[in-house]
Structures are given as C-alpha cells and as structure tokens.
Amino acid sequence: MTAAAQPMLQTELWLSFLSLLRSYAAAASLHSGAVHVATTENSATLTAGNAQLAMTFDPDSSQVSWTQHTPSQAPITGSFELLPEGAIAINGATKDLDHAAIDFIDLASQQRNVKGHDFSRAVKASQKNGALAPDGNTGEKP
C-alpha cells in the first residue's frame, strides 16, 4: 500500500466504525434507553444520560483517542489504533471493528441504566476483560 493510500484507507475504516457505532446505539436504545452518537469528520461523541465518551480520529496516524466524561469523576482517557484489516489495536490486544463498537456502546448503555452512576463502572468491568482499557492499564492485577 502506498503512503498516500494509507490515510484514505484509515478514513474509510473510521467512517465504517462510526456507522457501526450509530447502528449499535440505535439497537441499544430499543432495549436500554437512549444512547446518542453525534459525529463529525474526525470525531464522535457517545452520550447516555449525563455521561459522554468523546473520540477523536487522526487519519495520519490511524490513532483514535477517547475521553470519558462523567459528573462524578475526573476524565478517563484511552486510545486505540485502526488497523488495515478492519480491526483495532488497544493495549496489545486486537479486536474487530464490530466488537469494538459493541463494547463502546455497551460502555455507554450499561451506565445509563444505573441511576446515579456514570461510565466508570462499565470502564472498570471492561478493564477486567482487557477491553477499552485506558492507556497503559488493562485492569489486570500484577
């Protein structure tokens, strides 16, 4: 693949990921309450209740950084890389785009249903599974 084609491929993968987020958010909203996904060319924001998960895509590096914002705690950050084979790399693990989108929507919708809570419980549960762990932290005990 040429260097010029790489950002175009990464942009198409990002757009596919955004489409998956919107589709799974709509499905989750049918069962667990509203999960909204707002997108721009290089960003997405998942909102459930009063919590948000903001993502920013860098087409030159294939990196997506995310920040979880909740009323009850300081922001939590993480990142992943979009891979040419239609997967993401996050903290040494690989996950296909479908399952990554499901995990991010699950992160949003689980907390939306827990009155008085935010994304933090779902982040901790995801960390134990190695999914969506903040940078450098898989949630596993040494």
Q: Tell me what pLDDT residue 96 has.
A: 95
The tens digit of pLDDT for each residue in 21-71 reads 999 999 888 877 788 999 999 999 999 888 899 999 999 999 999 998 888
Q: How far is CA 130 from CA 58, 77, 125, in A?
A: 23, 15, 9
Domain boundaries, the chain: 5-128
- Kindly give, in sequence order, each residue whose CB lies less than 8 Å from that of residue 7, ignoring residues fewer than 6 positions away: 59, 60
Nearest to 119 by CA among 66, 72, 79: 72
The tens digit of pLDDT for each residue in 81-130 reads 999 999 999 988 999 999 999 988 887 765 543 333 333 444 455 555 55
Q: What is the DSSP letter of 136?
A: T
Tokens standing for 28? 């989750």
CA distance 133 to 87: 16
Element (H, E) at 23: helix 5-32
Q: Which residue has the higher pLDDT, 74 or 32?
A: 74
Q: In this structure, which topology does domain 5-128 adopt according to CATH? A: Metal Transport, Frataxin; Chain A (3.30.920)
